[in-house]
Amino acid sequence: MLIKPIKGKTDYKQARRRVEELRRGRRSAEERDELEVLRTLIEAWERKRYLTDFADPVEAIRFRLEQLGKTRDALIGVIGPNARVYEVLRGRRPLSISMIRNLHEKFGIPAEVLIRPARNRGGTVMSRRGDRIDRYPTMRRRGRPKRRRKPR
């Protein structure tokens, strides 16, 4: 039983193959132990590598930047100018489709995580306009608002 840490994709694939081999047929006590250790290593590597447990896209973006050792300045140009990056990371502006595409392509963040609605600091879900969704649960805006003319 030679078990080594999973450092890359090749180690990961080898560990997965070994788990499949150990699953088939009867196992000795030593092989059951090896299977348990390999499963733990694989789960730890997948948790570290893949972003699936995030409820908020902003958390996923921050986590990925931390993983890559980059600062929020790396998002300038991907999300937009500095002010837009600030608004997105503060939860004041939702991600647009083009932002989601850019983040997925350039940072490898799964699109499923980025599509989820963002939460602001108070924990409420934000709409595309940046309003709290729960603020007006029954009222809907119909048509254009009337413009008031300025007195001359």
Structure confidence by residue, pLDDT tens digits, 51-105: 566 668 898 899 888 888 899 899 999 999 999 999 999 988 899 999 999 999 9
Query: Do 79 and 105 fall into the same domain?
Result: yes
For residue 67, the domain's CATH number is: 1.10.260
125 by DSSP, 3-state: which? Answer: strand
**Quick check: is 87 in a domain?**
yes
Query: Do 43 and 77 fall into the same domain?
Result: no
Instruction: Report the percent of the chain where pLDDT is more than 70.
Output: 74
**Quick check: is 21 in a domain?**
yes
Single out the residue of 24, 21, 54 nearest to residue 38, CA to CA.
Answer: 21
**Quick check: is 1 in a domain?**
no
Q: Which domain holds residue 99?
A: 57-115
**Quick check: is 27 in a domain?**
yes
Cα distances (angstroms) measured from residue 37 to each of 14, 23, 50: 14, 13, 20
Query: Do 61 and 45 fall into the same domain?
Result: no
**Quick check: is 148 in a domain?**
no
**CA quadruple 69, 73, 75, 78: dihedral sign:** negative
| Residue 10: both structure tokens together | 């090749």
CA distance 149 to 146: 9
Query: Do 33 and 75 fall into the same domain?
Result: no
CB atoms within 10 A of CB 93: 21
Query: Do 61 and 108 fall into the same domain?
Result: yes
Check residue 73 and give its pLDDT: 92
Phi and psi based region of residue 45 (left: phi greater than 0; alpha: psi -120 to 50; beta: remaining): alpha
